[in-house]
Amino acid sequence: MVLRYANQNTARTSIDAIGRHLLIEMKGCTNLNDKDVIREMLKSAVDACKATLIGVEVHGFNPHGVSGIAIIGESHLSIHTWPEFGYAAVDIFTCGSRVNPYDALPVFKETLKPKEVSVIEIRRGLLSEEEKK
């Protein structure tokens, strides 16, 4: 398994941005066409990062592929799959300092068993020193 991270999994003691958005590329995956597996994975990922689950919606495409989203009180987790390529695009967007989006990542890796994972973190709504007060 190849892992590449654009940023480190770090706990925050102060807020320097409104949210953290992880853009995750997963290649060489399994379980990409099973709506029930995707639904349970999203719920487990929400639990793992201690977010507040509002709802989960999963849709299967014909002939293959699944899109799913977990709406959380702190923003969302989403996945779009292409089983024919063994590829999944995952977004984990959390707001505030209580929820660490990286805590959800192991659930996706355990369920989808990717051969390669890359993560880019984008800080959304960067705050000035004045806005941090």
Q: Which of 21, 49, 75, 76 is catalytic?
A: 75
**Catalytic-labelled residue, pool 29, 49, 76, 95:** 95
Residue 11 tokens read as 């706990």
128 is catalytic: no
Beta-carbon contacts of residue 101 (< 8 Å; ≥ 6 apart): 20, 21, 22, 49, 92, 93, 94
Contact residues for 12 (Cβ-Cβ < 8 A; gap 6+):
97, 100
Which among 80, 97, 118, 128 is annotated as catalytic? 80
CA atoms within 13 A on the CB side of 85: 12
The DSSP output letter for 41 is H
Distance CA 52, CA 72 (A): 5
Annotated catalytic residue 75: yes
Question: How does strand 116-126 pair with strand 2-5?
Answer: parallel
Is 80 a catalytic site residue?
yes
Q: Catalytic residue positions?
A: 75, 80, 95
